[in-house]
Chain A
């Protein structure tokens, strides 16, 4: 079984937007791979006019929140960096247990790469960075932020559409639905 890879469109986010954006994307992907009996939950984003769907499993929510928190901590230590988060789905293949090893092998069948460019909030001009402006009125700053927020919302919607298209176009590699399994096992990898 081949491993399908999907590179999602890069999003420019500020640090306070990371949590909502990541949760939205990660939950949307996992929802598409939760093929067991679920009761979906609609979640409205606070920063954007977007409603995304969670599969309703508490373990999924915990796992995602935990990884998002780790990523935010990492971002705080490595500001102004482009980063990539990888969401991988795998099947568990247990090898023949031997005397010495009892390995459980993971067979990845799908990987999603979420690309983020975390921006630092614009401050008063100090250095020679070309991102800062020499003079910035509060009104201009709010307008700029508002337009950037609108663009981000549109980009986020595009990413969600991208997920839907990918899920629709490629279905053959998805493992069959197993009884009792609510969602396909996954792992989230953040940069270290």
Chain B
């Protein structure tokens, strides 16, 4: 009898231990579910609004990657370090209730009284009451300016009520205890399913999604907290909030309770939270006004995106010193997200030829944002006190302003050195076609594509120049209207007046021109290659070519017009020039041979003349035969 009693007590102990473990894991899972849907991402945000990058896939496909804690209550959730940390630190006893406060923090700019009043309006709409009297806590710095306002919009309470310990019978049959555990586990599982759905139905979830899916800078943020000391709400605050209590789960020696107090957010939308009115940034970090030769640091990785190489290049405006041409495209303002975005998006715009305007700029920007989003590094979101202001929504949409564009496979013969045809060709490689270019924003679009091209040039520079030398002209003449515009633009003397990353060796470049002797010679003779970049070298070369006299002065039928750089020629004349240049190239070759033959004939006549004169003077002289005599 004593043995059976011992067995029974042992069973009870084990059942009790199991129950306690279930309760402990229930707390952990609840916290995980709540924080997973209330903790904004630590790194860059998901702009497309799609499912988070780390969202778990179907269980059938990822059964092998099930973590031990996923098996608890058969609910595999995505990683939430905040939940684990909070629980490890905060949970010491299952008897302590677990409280999770979801706090809405509004951050006005320091000293910005207008924003403060705007925030008050936001908060008033949020709670329906004056913010000062509705549980809002505000911090003040030493200057007396309010720096942030906080309000608890949700309070989750998970607790274990063990009052039934004394009430329920301590001894029970083994079977019923086991059955009770199973029932308890099943009901806890069902409750957690409901919790998972509930957290997504409450108003705070909309804020969470908006903060995570949009790249805009909001005046508020969502901060879940697990306070060690819980300040109870006042009656007034509780009256303003709605309550929902899940049906408690009976356990062996108590019951699990879960409830939520939440505020309705019917008046709060993200439109109210759209940050500052758009302004143009002229002195963003890295602008020519700031530091022309500043080198870009490598940017941090974006959330979920593959690791990228650091992006380091000099600004194109560093070569402005060698040119007097003003920027042909107005520098468009930088996107909202960060300074570094602005740095990369717009430095080249000044030096790039204008593009034909076909579409509004904002839309083009959006297309670029979509194209480049998987590849880009994101800088950390700036603090609200950053000097950069938001720009138009169309521009702001490019939260994924391309900082780094990967270099896809490059086909040497297709890509052309000239920017605009190069851009068009670039589209066919790995980029989705950019539909239109706007005049204002064309610079940054071109920047992006040009950055794209530059990476390609980095890889294939030597070959590229040689392969592009001859087709360059014909291609540009025949295909690109935008290139035509480039040429016609008096402010843009040379299509090579763009930044070229100095990755190619100067020694390789002359060799690349060997196919075109006529170009090679000027290249060698020009001792004035700028030492700073190959771009300027090419530009100088082209300038020389422009000034160079025509190859043949006595070409009759197809007088070689000036090469395409003449800005004043109409399009038709340019095309004719192309044809004539091509024809004259052939004519040159033929005339060279003809000239040589003519010279030979001349020499022969001279020789014959000399011989005749010698024979008349000295009849005994032997006439030398020449293999050239006919």
Do A and B originate from a single complex? yes
A28 is an interface residue with CB less than 8 A from chain B: yes
A160 is an interface residue with CB less than 8 A from chain B: yes
Q: Which residues of B contact A152 (CB under 8 A)?
A: none
Asked if A38 contacts B200 (CB within 8 A), the reply is no
Residue of B nearest to A163 (CB): B197
Asked if B74 contacts A40 (CB within 8 A), the reply is no
A14 is an interface residue with CB less than 8 A from chain B: no
Q: Mark A174-190, 1 if CB is under 8 A from B, else 0.
A: 10110000100000000
Identify which of A38, A58, A169 contacts B74 (C-beta below 8 A). Answer: A38
> Please, could you name 12 A-B residue pairs with CB atoms under 8 Å apart, sorted by A?
A38-B74, A39-B57, A39-B76, A40-B77, A41-B51, A53-B197, A161-B201, A164-B197, A168-B190, A169-B247, A176-B183, A176-B186
Asked if B186 contacts A174 (CB within 8 A), the reply is yes
Complex formed: what's the CA distance from A36 to B59 in Å?
Answer: 10
Given contacts A58-B58, A167-B194, contact A42 B75 (CB under 8 A): no
B603 is an interface residue with CB less than 8 A from chain A: no
Asked if A51 contacts B205 (CB within 8 A), the reply is yes
Q: Which residues of A contact B246 (CB under 8 A)?
A: 168
Residue of B nearest to A170 (CB): B247
CB neighbors of B among A62-92 (8 A): none
**Which among B71, B185, B247 has the greatest number of chain A C-beta atoms within 10 A?**
B247
Asked if B194 contacts A168 (CB within 8 A), the reply is yes
Q: Which residues of A contact B51 (CB under 8 A)?
A: 41-42
B290 is an interface residue with CB less than 8 A from chain A: no
B596 is an interface residue with CB less than 8 A from chain A: no
Complex formed: what's the CA distance from A174 to B190 in Å?
Answer: 10
Q: Which residues of B contact A40 (CB under 8 A)?
A: 56, 75, 77, 196
A157 is an interface residue with CB less than 8 A from chain B: yes
Q: Which residues of B contact A44 (CB under 8 A)?
A: 49, 209
B625 is an interface residue with CB less than 8 A from chain A: no
A17 is an interface residue with CB less than 8 A from chain B: no
A50 is an interface residue with CB less than 8 A from chain B: yes
Asked if A32 contacts B190 (CB within 8 A), the reply is yes
Asked if A52 contacts B200 (CB within 8 A), the reply is yes
Asked if A164 contacts B194 (CB within 8 A), the reply is yes
Identify which of B49, B58, B70, B196 contacts A56 (C-beta below 8 A). Answer: B58
Asked if A177 contacts B58 (CB within 8 A), the reply is no
Asked if A52 contacts B194 (CB within 8 A), the reply is no
Complex formed: what's the CA distance from A167 to B194 in Å?
Answer: 7
Additional pairs, 15, CB under 8 Å, beyond known A31-B196, A177-B189: A28-B197, A39-B56, A40-B56, A41-B56, A42-B55, A49-B206, A50-B201, A51-B201, A57-B59, A157-B201, A168-B191, A168-B194, A174-B186, A177-B74, A177-B186
Asked if A51 contacts B196 (CB within 8 A), the reply is no
Q: Which residues of A contact B56 (CB under 8 A)?
A: 39-41, 56
CB neighbors of A among B54-98 (8 A): 55-60, 62-63, 66, 70-71, 74-77
Q: Which residues of A contact B74 (CB under 8 A)?
A: 35-38, 177
What residues make up the interface of A, taking CB atoms closer than 8 Å to B?
28, 31-32, 34-42, 44, 49-53, 56-58, 157, 160-161, 163-164, 167-169, 171, 174, 176-177, 182
Closest 8 CB pairs of A and B: A39-B56, A168-B247, A37-B74, A39-B76, A56-B58, A51-B200, A39-B59, A164-B194
Residue of A nearest to B72 (CB): A37
- Closest-CB distance, B45 to chain A (whole angstroms): 16
**Which among B76, B185, B197, B205 has the greatest number of chain A C-beta atoms within 10 A?**
B197
Complex formed: what's the CA distance from A182 to B200 in Å?
Answer: 22
Identify which of A37, A157, A177 contacts B76 (C-beta below 8 A). Answer: A37
Q: Which residues of A contact B363 (CB under 8 A)?
A: none
Residue of B nearest to A54 (CB): B58
Residue of B nearest to A53 (CB): B197
B187 is an interface residue with CB less than 8 A from chain A: yes
Q: Which residues of A contact B71 (CB under 8 A)?
A: 37
Q: How many A-B residue pairs have CB under 8 A?
A: 100
Asked if A35 contacts B196 (CB within 8 A), the reply is no
Complex formed: what's the CA distance from A12 to B206 in Å?
Answer: 24
Identify which of A53, A56, A58 contacts B200 (C-beta below 8 A). Answer: A53
B295 is an interface residue with CB less than 8 A from chain A: no
Residue of B nearest to A38 (CB): B59
Q: Which residues of B contact A182 (CB under 8 A)?
A: 59
Q: Which residues of B contact A38 (CB under 8 A)?
A: 59, 74-76
Q: Which residues of A contact B194 (CB under 8 A)?
A: 32, 164, 167-168
Q: Which residues of A contact B57 (CB under 8 A)?
A: 39, 56
B193 is an interface residue with CB less than 8 A from chain A: yes
Q: Which residues of B contact A57 (CB under 8 A)?
A: 58-60
Complex formed: what's the CA distance from A50 to B196 in Å?
Answer: 14
Given contacts A36-B74, A40-B75, A42-B55, contact A171 B200 (CB under 8 A): no
Complex formed: what's the CA distance from A41 to B78 in Å?
Answer: 11
Complex formed: what's the CA distance from A157 to B202 in Å?
Answer: 10
B182 is an interface residue with CB less than 8 A from chain A: yes
Q: Which residues of B contact A28 (CB under 8 A)?
A: 197
Complex formed: what's the CA distance from A171 to B187 in Å?
Answer: 6
- Closest-CB distance, A89 to chain B (whole angstroms): 13
Asked if B58 contacts A167 (CB within 8 A), the reply is no
B610 is an interface residue with CB less than 8 A from chain A: no
Asked if B205 contacts A37 (CB within 8 A), the reply is no
B165 is an interface residue with CB less than 8 A from chain A: no
B612 is an interface residue with CB less than 8 A from chain A: no
Q: Mark B176-218, 1 if CB is under 8 A from A, else 0.
A: 0000001101110111011011101100011001000000000
Asked if A167 contacts B193 (CB within 8 A), the reply is yes
- Closest-CB distance, B352 to chain A (whole angstroms): 39
